[in-house]
Chains A and B, each alone.
Chain A
Amino acid sequence: MPAFKITKATKIFSILFIGALCLTLGGSLYSAHLAKSEILHFWIFFPSGRGPPPTPIQINVNEQGSLKRILNPWTIALSTHWIINTDHQPHKVQLELVNCTIPVEWEVNAGFPWDPDTKTFTEPLDPGEGIPYLGIDWIIFVPENVRGQEVWYDGGLAVNDGDTGERLSFIPITIYGGWGLNLG
């Protein structure tokens, strides 16, 4: 049986391979950690009571990465790609950020007609369907007078029927901003 010889090239290859693998897996762990506080993505199923229950969203800005906290501390973002109608009947989806007095920019991109004034998808979403090609980012700008408070936002996202106004679902959202006391 020929002796297996580890050449210098094999050693270098292995070191680079393992190094790149570990670095990428490290990036994955860090990504999972950041996902809870930076541009957190969530699912919206409606009406509540059908499909998975809404999970309350709690963002603690202390858990954000230090680079963001240093370079871009006063904006918080939330996002969704999934609004799914689990009802037996179609609904026009109207969205509302409840109890929101701080400036929020809605960036909505969808393969479905959207009215930015009423925050409504103007066509009914069929049962079992999700809004196609959806991407909504809520960019929240934390004003100076709020930065010193421990809770920056306490409200939630309501999903209403665009025709009847009936509340179909509600996802509580709280943003804890305690560290703002030091930076503000």
Chain B
Amino acid sequence: MKLNLETLKRNKWRYLGFIFGFLFFVYPFAAIPRIIYFLQGSLAAPTLHSVCYRMTVEWMFTGRYWTTIIVQPIRLLALIAIVVAFFFGPLFCGWLCPIGSLTESLSRLTPRRLKIDFSGKVSLGAIRYGFFIGFLLPAILGMIGPATPVLGSCCAPEASSVAETLGIAGICCRYCAASSVQNIVDFLTGNFAALTYWHTGGIITMVFWLFIGGIFLFGGRGWCWVCPLGVLSNAVHYIGTKLGFTYKVKHDPTKCKDCGQCRGVCPSWAIKPAEKSVSIDRHACTVCKECVTACSSGALTYSRGHEDVKAS
């Protein structure tokens, strides 16, 4: 999985999507938050935080979301990404998200021998859903019992007695890769103060998102494993793939030469070897279509219809 001219040409629309992801969501560009804030007459800075999809997903499960979208319509973006994922696959993840696209691009520049690679060998679904339950539990427990404003937590500002007794807090803001991306871009665009404050959670996030799960991971998409929007998008995509009218990456075993080309280009570790063929893990596939453009036998297509291969 390299970033050479051939790959760029083959997947030009996708890499253009990466650029648009930055132009759409990251300050100082941030076209989408700008438009929404303009229409709302809001003076808030349209940073990547304003579209924070981690907190948005948490709120979807704690009920707060449905009242928040009235005053913060920008939060609709995450819901749109999830609905799109049902019908077309997690396109936001694979084509637009600045957090995932940045590390994927950097990982492509890293020599293969320096990268961690267990692709095809681990069940990312297990890791992702384990994380997701752990992500939601503190938020849901934090709703039990009367809530009081508490000192200390940003993403769970009202702690219940249960949450306080257990000593748990939400993890959205403490470990936030969106902050890291925004701070780096702020710094690169002249706001040198953006990198002056580093808290422990920020340092841990930076190390995992950018280095271990990014630059030095095959595919560079380690952060996506622990991204609530990514997990939820893949969960609904998985359900969607069971239905004939949705779009998905389909594999035709009769055309497959088992050359492994597709496995070598999948940034999401979603292609597993199967008997004389491959299978696609719907809990990981971000419909990036890198495999579709790499397969010279035409065994992979992105289209509607029923799955040809049993999803793992």
Name A's B-contacting residues (CB within 8 A): 9, 12-25, 27-29, 31-36, 38-43, 45, 52, 55, 57, 64-68, 71-72, 75, 77, 79, 81-82, 105, 107, 109-114, 132-133, 135, 137, 139, 141
Which residues of the partner chain A approach B131 to less than 8 Å between Cβ atoms? 20-21, 23-24
Interface centre among B123, B174, B200 (most CB of A within 10 A): B200
Q: Which residues of A contact B45 (CB under 8 A)?
A: 109
Residue of B nearest to A76 (CB): B197
A32 and B127 within 8 A (CB): no
Complex CA–CA separation, A52 to B122 (angstroms): 49
Whether B169 contacts A16 by the Cβ 8 Å rule is: no
Known: A28-B134, A133-B50. 6 other contacts (CB 8 A): A13-B125, A16-B122, A24-B130, A32-B167, A32-B169, A111-B44
Q: Which residues of B contact A57 (CB under 8 A)?
A: 151
5 A–B contacts, CB within 8 A, in A order: A24-B134, A28-B137, A45-B149, A55-B151, A72-B198
**Are the C-beta atoms of B135 and A24 separated by less than 8 Å?**
yes
Identity of the chain B residue whose Cβ is nearest the Cβ of A70 in the assembled complex: B203
B72, B122, B134, most chain A CB atoms within 10 A: B134
Complex formed: what's the CA distance from A39 to B131 in Å? 24
> Across the interface, do A135 and B198 meet the contact criterion of CB distance under 8 Å?
no
Q: Which residue of A lies closest to B50 (CB)?
A: A133
8 Å CB interface, B125-182 against A: 125-131, 133-135, 137-138, 148-149, 151-154, 157, 167-171, 174-175
Question: Known: A32-B167, A82-B157. Is A132-B127 also a contact (CB below 8 A)?
Answer: no
Q: Is the CB of B123 within 8 A of A24?
A: no
Which B residues are in CB contact (< 8 Å) with A20? 126-131, 134
Residue numbers in B under 8 Å from A35 (CB-CB): 151-154, 169, 174
B42 contacts A111, C-beta separation under 8 Å: yes
Residues of B contacting A18 with CB < 8 Å? 130
In the complex where A71-B203, A105-B193 touch, is A23 in contact with B134 (Cβ < 8 A)? Answer: yes
Question: Which single residue of chain A is at the shortest CB-CB distance from B207?
Answer: A67
B residues less than 8 Å from A28 (CB atoms): 134, 137-138, 168-171
Alpha-carbon distance A111/B57, docked complex (angstroms): 23
Please give the distance in Å from B284's CB to the nearest CB on chain A.
13
Q: A16-B127, A32-B167, A68-B200 are in contact. Are A109 and B153 (CB under 8 A)?
A: no
- A68 B168 Cβ-Cβ under 8 A: no
**Contact (A81, B154) CB under 8 Å given A31-B171, A31-B175:** yes
Q: What CA separation (Å) do A174 and B133 show in the bound complex?
A: 37
Complexed CA–CA distance, A109 and B196 (Å): 17
Task: Determine if B101 is an interface residue (Cβ-Cβ < 8 Å).
Answer: no
Name the residue on A nearest B193 (C-beta).
A105
B71 at the A/B interface (Cβ < 8 Å)?
A: yes
Q: A41, B42: Cβ atoms under 8 Å?
A: no
B138 and A13 within 8 A (CB) = no
Whether the pair A16, B123 counts as a contact (CB closer than 8 A) is yes
Do B154 and A132 touch across chains, with their CB atoms under 8 A apart? Answer: no
Contact A25 B42 (CB under 8 A): no
192-223 of chain B: CB within 8 A of chain A: 193, 196-201, 203-204
Known A21-B130, A24-B130, A24-B134: A32·B199 in contact at CB below 8 Å: no
Query: Could you tell me the distance between the alpha carbons of A137 and B226 in the complex, rounded to whole angstroms?
Result: 26
Contact B151 A25 (CB under 8 A): no
Contact A34 B199 (CB under 8 A): yes
- A17 with B174, Cβ < 8 A, contacts A36-B152, A68-B199, A111-B44 known: no
B contact residues around A135 at 8 Å (CB): 49
Q: Which of B1-52 contact A (CB under 8 A)?
A: 37, 40, 42-45, 47, 49-50
**Chain B residues near A36 (CB-CB < 8 A):** 151-152
Q: A111 and B151: CB pair below 8 A?
A: no
CA distance A139 to B192 in the complex (A): 14
Contact B50 A71 (CB under 8 A): no
| Contact of A41 with B44 at beta-carbon distance under 8 Å, contacts A34-B201, A64-B200 already known | no
Query: Across the two chains, which residue of chain B brings its CB closest to A42?
Result: B151
Tell whether, in the assembled complex, residue B168 and residue A17 are in contact, meaning their CB atoms are under 8 Å apart.
Answer: no
